[in-house]
Amino acid sequence: TRTQAYGASKAALHYFTKSLEVDLHHKGVKVQAVSPGFVETPLTDKNDFEMPMKISAEEAADAMLKGIEGNKQTVFFPRIFGFILRFMHILPTPLQKRLSLAMREKQ
């Protein structure tokens, strides 16, 4: 589905930034990643699927600036959305799958 492809591309970009962080550390380059949830934009206005915890572009900009200025390695927002996704990642794979299937059935 489109949401799976979107999620996969975000995961690939996150992995890439973590690799860059290691590769460029010796040159004094700081790499920071931004992992947003859903942000209200003209593009997301066209989506025909549920976007939980969607925030405004202004809220997203504030969260990014706060995270970057706070020297966060990764800036997650909205905070609770980022927490849920990170929590899901540490669960055993069979449990991740069951929860994901349950969420998909609710759509």
Q: What is the average pLDDT across 29-33?
A: 95
In terms of pTM, does the model score above 0.85? no
Q: What pLDDT is recorded for position 24?
A: 97
The catalytic residue among 3, 4, 6, 8 is 6
Q: What is the average pLDDT across 3-32?
A: 90
- Report the amino acid identity of residue 104: R
Q: What is the average pLDDT across 58-62?
A: 96
Asked if the model's pLDDT at residue 1 lies above 80, the reply is no
- Determine phi and psi for 16, rounding to 5 degrees: -60, -45
Average pLDDT of the residues of the chain: 88
Task: For tokens 């975000």, name the residue.
Answer: 10
Nearest Cα residue to 52 out of 74, 75, 85 = 85
- Total residue count of the chain as it appears in this document: 107
Asked if the model's pLDDT at residue 98 lies above 70, the reply is yes
Instruction: Report how far apart the first and last C-alpha atoms of the chain are (Å, whole number).
Output: 13
Asked if the model's pLDDT at residue 16 lies above 80, the reply is yes
Q: Is 6 a catalytic residue?
A: yes
